[in-house]
């Protein structure tokens, strides 16, 4: 018995000993990390082959939770077991709630599109500026608006529909870059070059520190979707420009800031108008800068400039015609410049129109008759110190006096008169004014460069005794009278008055007229035209002519370039005068001022009333009715004589000088040419 027990305990001890040598292994554990927007959201340790417990969904304002992802794969919490450390990243999608407003498309502001279009070549060359390279300019006196043209949609996610809507207010991200050398550098917030930026209206108010510098602006609407931001350049508009001293003009009423008269009826009228329209009556900016087309109507001006019913007698024979018409001898906008001051209008290739303004029908306030009335009313007038400067640049101007047979249009408006300061008209278009450019008794340079003018009722240029008028690289075609009228002002004065001088350089000047146009009728010049035309018979036998015929020979046209006359009369006179017109490098048409032979010839012929001629090649002659004779009273029969050469012919007659185009005989003039 004892032996058996002993064997049992030995066996049990052996088994226990073997069992105690087997060590149990612990199960593997792994870490699962949850990430939300780059930050740790939760971290949990799991035993191998366990299922992961899904945490509460994270929230993000404006977004819907899409799930937990491993890379681009959505993690499946119900079937996927943990076999290694895991990082699960939360992904979101932008909410598209019912009636969400989105930016659908963004494009360049409409007025900048118009600027770019106006600066292109045109099929109709009369609407194409000579210089298409001018930089857009912006003023510093008030905000310049560069607001994108945005299309907005209202999206209804539940219904699955969208429709275009108008949104008046939206916030934009605006960046301004300064050109430094050949690179644009982003201006920091608080830059001294900018006074303020309105992120809703997109108005940038530059400071005086910005004057003279070039900039680029980039504007993008806020609130773009993540997908749109991936192609943000499709929703960004940019533009380059320069800043100048001046006021940014967006409507016709703001042109009131040109006028700085301080006394008189006109000043009182403008003061009242400015105050009534919320404009500063004491503000006179150095420059005005256009940023859109401007149409001036009677509502954009003080009523003072037009006849009201209270100023007329209802019994007047011209009551109906005069009511609402413009008063004569009035200047709508006037700028008076002191010593060394400047004033410029920068058009930025936009249009200025006064087409709807009524004409002058009462000469100097007197009752009007059946015919038209010559106008002395101007849109712009600049006067003051002769060391001041003014200009009118890069603008397309349309007046209210087209070249028509209807003589009532004689009362249309003069575009601009300048008396005193030096003036430059550069790269302008002008059509349908009574007179376009009027150097008015001014003795500093009056320059028209790269300007076009068409279809004025009277002339394109009226030189009233000014001696430094220059027309350079211009095209002026289709005046109702001469291209240029220039007056010797007060020729009977003891000091000889003021003599007009005009220089033409590389310009195309044409005013083909028959002599019955409204201007000729209005100034009583129609009667003299047949007599002038009859003189052409002196030239045609030698192959030259100053007439062109219509194709059916029913009309004869004169290219009437310039008429020099006395300033004592509106129309043709017999008063002996002086003056000059110089074309390129040709001899001047100047009444023989530098040529004793021509002077002697004119002394005889003008005294006797005989017409005398000067060709642009330097040939002289006069007629007694039986042919052309030279200064020795010898008849000119040689077809090679210089009187029969050149492109221009001056007729000295009745104290005047009339410069005509000079052609080969038999040429045809076509209105369509």
pLDDT of the residue at 135: 97
Is the pLDDT confidence value at 2 over 60? Answer: no
Could you read off the pLDDT of 375-430 as tens digits, one per residue?
999 999 999 999 999 999 999 999 999 988 777 788 999 999 999 999 999 999 99
What pLDDT is attached to residue 155? 87
**What confidence score (pLDDT) does residue 22 get?**
45
- In the predicted structure, residue 344 carries a pLDDT above the cut 70: yes
Q: Tell me, what's the pLDDT at 11?
A: 39
Q: Which two tokens stand for residue 210?
A: 């910005």
Q: Is the pLDDT of residue 96 over 80?
A: no
Output the CA angle 571-425-398, nearest 5 degrees. Answer: 70
Q: What pLDDT shows up at residue 371?
A: 74
pLDDT of 458 higher than 60 = yes
Bridge partners, residue 151, by sequence? 105
Asked if residues 448 and 471 have their Cβ atoms less than 8 Å apart, the reply is yes
- For the chain, how long is the longest CA-to-CA vector? 183
The CATH architecture of the domain made up of 100-245 is: Sandwich (2.60)
Alpha-carbon distance 643 to 623, whole Å?
Answer: 12
Q: Left if phi > 0, otherwise alpha if psi is -120 to 50, otherwise beta: which for 281? A: alpha
d(CA 378, CA 473): 25
pLDDT digits (tens, 9 = 90+) for 106-153: 999 999 999 999 999 999 999 999 999 999 999 999 999 999 999 999
pLDDT in the model for residue 372: 79
Which residues lie closer than 8 Å to 372 by C-beta, 6 or more apart?
359, 361, 406, 407, 408, 409, 410, 411, 518, 522
pLDDT of 37-95, one tens digit each? 999 999 999 999 999 999 999 988 778 899 999 999 999 999 999 999 999 999 998 77
Mean pLDDT of 541-567: 94
Convert the pLDDT of each residue in 293-304 to its tens digit: 999 999 999 999
State the average pLDDT over residues 268-280: 97
Which pLDDT belongs to residue 570?
Answer: 62
Of the two residues 4 and 464, the one the predictor is more confident about is 464
**Are 458 and 409 in contact, with CB atoms under 8 Å apart?**
no
Distance, CA of 512 to CA of 174 (rounded, Å): 54
Cβ distance 306 to 326 under 8 Å? yes
Q: How much helix, strand and coil, in percent to the nearest 5, is found in the chain?
A: 15, 40, 45
Q: What token pair was written down for 197? A: 């930026």
Reported as a pLDDT band with limits 50, 70 and 90, residue 525 is confident
Task: Provide mean pLDDT across the span 651-658.
Answer: 92
Is the pLDDT at 97 greater than 80, yes or no?
Answer: no
pLDDT of residue 608: 84
**In angstroms, rounded to a whole number, what is the distance separating the alpha carbons of residues 378 and 623?**
41
Q: How confident is the model at residue 27 (pLDDT cuts 50, 70, 90)?
A: confident
Reported as a pLDDT band with limits 50, 70 and 90, residue 628 is very high
| For residues 448-476, average pLDDT | 97
E strand spans, 452-546: 452-454, 459-464, 469-472, 475-477, 484-488, 501-505, 508-510, 512-513, 544-545
Question: Using alpha carbons only, how large is the chain's radius of gyration in Å?
Answer: 41
What contacts 613, CB < 8 A, 6 or more positions away? 619, 620, 621, 622, 623, 628, 643, 649, 650, 651, 652
Q: Decide if 291 contacts 347 (C-beta within 8 A).
A: no
Q: What pLDDT is recorded for position 527?
A: 83
CA dist 413 → 144, 269, 400, 401, 486 (Å): 31, 19, 6, 7, 18
pLDDT band at 14 (very low <50, low <70, confident <90, very high): very low
Q: Are 56 and 24 in contact (CB under 8 A)?
A: no
Q: What is the pTM of this model?
A: 0.84
- Using pLDDT thresholds of 50, 70 and 90, give the confidence band for residue 571: low
SS3 for 559-572, per residue? EEEEEEEECCCCCC
Is the pLDDT assigned to residue 185 strictly greater than 70? Answer: yes
- Residue 187 has phi, psi (to 5 degrees) of -75, 135
For the chain, residues classed under CATH 2.60.40.4270 are 29-94
CB 87 within 8 A of CB 120: no
Residue 15: its pLDDT value, please? Answer: 37
User: Whole-angstrom Cα distance, residue 475 to residue 510?
Assistant: 8
Calculate the average pLDDT of the chain. Answer: 92
Q: Are 215 and 176 in contact (CB under 8 A)?
A: yes
CATH code at 29-94:
2.60.40.4270
- Residue 210's pLDDT is what? 98
| pLDDT tens digit sequence for 251-271 | 999 999 999 999 999 999 999
The mean pLDDT value for 322-328 works out to: 95
Under a CB-based contact definition with an 8 Å cutoff, are residues 103 and 144 in contact?
Answer: no
Predicted confidence at residue 325, as pLDDT, reads 95
């Amino acid at each position: 018995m004892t032996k058996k027990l002993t064997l049992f305990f030995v066996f049990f001890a052996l088994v226990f000993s073997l069992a105690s040598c087997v060590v149990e292994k612990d199960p593997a554990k792994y870490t699962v990390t949850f990430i939300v927007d780059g930050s740790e959201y939760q971290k949990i340790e799991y035993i191998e082959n366990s299922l992961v417990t899904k945490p509460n969904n994270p929230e993000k304002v404006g977004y819907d939770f899409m799930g937990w992802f491993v890379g681009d794969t959505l993690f499946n919490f119900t079937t996927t077991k943990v076999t290694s450390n895991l990082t699960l990243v939360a992904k979101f999608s932008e909410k598209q709630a019912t009636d969400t407003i989105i930016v659908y498309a963004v494009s360049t502001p409409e007025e900048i599109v118009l600027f770019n279009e106006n600066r292109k070549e045109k099929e109709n060359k009369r609407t194409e500026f000579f210089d298409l390279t001018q930089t857009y300019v912006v003023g510093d006196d008030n905000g310049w608006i560069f607001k994108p043209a945005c299309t907005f949609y209202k999206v209804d996610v539940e219904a699955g529909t969208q429709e275009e809507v108008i949104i008046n207010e939206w916030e934009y991200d605006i960046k301004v870059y300064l050109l430094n050398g050949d690179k644009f550098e982003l201006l920091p917030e608080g830059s001294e070059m900018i006074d303020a930026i309105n992120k809703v209206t997109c108005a940038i108010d530059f400071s005086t520190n910005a004057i003279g510098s070039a900039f680029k602006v980039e504007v993008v609407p806020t609130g773009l979707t993540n997908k749109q931001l991936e192609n943000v350049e499709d929703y960004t508009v940019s533009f380059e420009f320069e800043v100048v001293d001046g006021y940014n003009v967006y409507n016709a009423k703001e042109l009131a800031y040109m006028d700085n008269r301080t006394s008189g009826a006109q000043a009182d009228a403008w003061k009242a108008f400015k105050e009534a329209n919320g404009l500063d009556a004491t503000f006179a900016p150095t420059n005005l800068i256009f940023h859109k087309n401007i149409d001036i109507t009677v509502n954009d001006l003080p009523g003072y400039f037009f006849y009201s019913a209270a100023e007329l007698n209802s019994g007047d024979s011209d009551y109906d015609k005069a009511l609402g018409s413009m008063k004569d001898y009035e200047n709508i906008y006037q700028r008076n410049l002191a010593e060394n001051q400047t004033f410029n209008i920068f058009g930025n290739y936009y249009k200025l129109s006064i087409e709807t303004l009524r004409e002058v029908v009462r000469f100097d306030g007197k009752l009007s008759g059946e015919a038209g009335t010559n106008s002395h009313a101007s849109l712009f007038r600049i006067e003051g110190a002769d060391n001041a400067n003014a200009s009118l640049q890069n603008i397309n101007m349309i007046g209210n006096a087209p070249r028509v047979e209807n003589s009532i249009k004689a009362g249309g408006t003069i575009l601009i008169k300048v008396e005193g300061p030096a003036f430059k008209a550069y790269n302008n278009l002008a059509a349908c004014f009574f007179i376009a450019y009027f150097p008015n008794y001014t003795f500093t340079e009056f320059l028209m460069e790269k300007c076009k003018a068409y279809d004025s009722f009277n002339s394109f240029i009226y030189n009233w005794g000014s001696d430094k008028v220059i027309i350079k690289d211009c095209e002026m075609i289709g005046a109702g009278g001469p291209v240029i009228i220039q007056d010797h002002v007060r020729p009977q004065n003891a000091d000889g008055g003021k003599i007009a001088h005009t220089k033409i350089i590389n310009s195309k000047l044409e005013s083909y007229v028959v002599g019955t146009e409204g201007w000729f009728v209005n100034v009583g010049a129609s009667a003299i035209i047949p007599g002038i035309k009859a003189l052409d018979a002196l030239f045609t036998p030698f192959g030259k002519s100053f007439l062109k015929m219509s194709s059916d020979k029913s009309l004869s046209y004169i290219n009437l370039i310039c008429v020099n006359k006395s300033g004592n009369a509106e129309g043709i006179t017999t008063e002996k005068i002086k003056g000059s017109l110089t074309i390129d490098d040709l001899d001047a048409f100047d009444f023989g001022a530098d040529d004793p032979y021509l002077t002697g010839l004119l002394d005889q012929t003008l005294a006797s009333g005989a017409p005398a001629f000067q060709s642009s090649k330097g040939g002289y002659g006069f007629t007694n009715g039986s042919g052309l004779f030279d200064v020795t009273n010898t008849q000119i029969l040689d077809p090679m004589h210089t009187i029969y050469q050149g492109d221009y012919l001056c007729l000295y007659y009745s104290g005047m000088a009339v410069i005509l185009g000079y052609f080969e005989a038999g040429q045809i003039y076509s209105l369509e040419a």
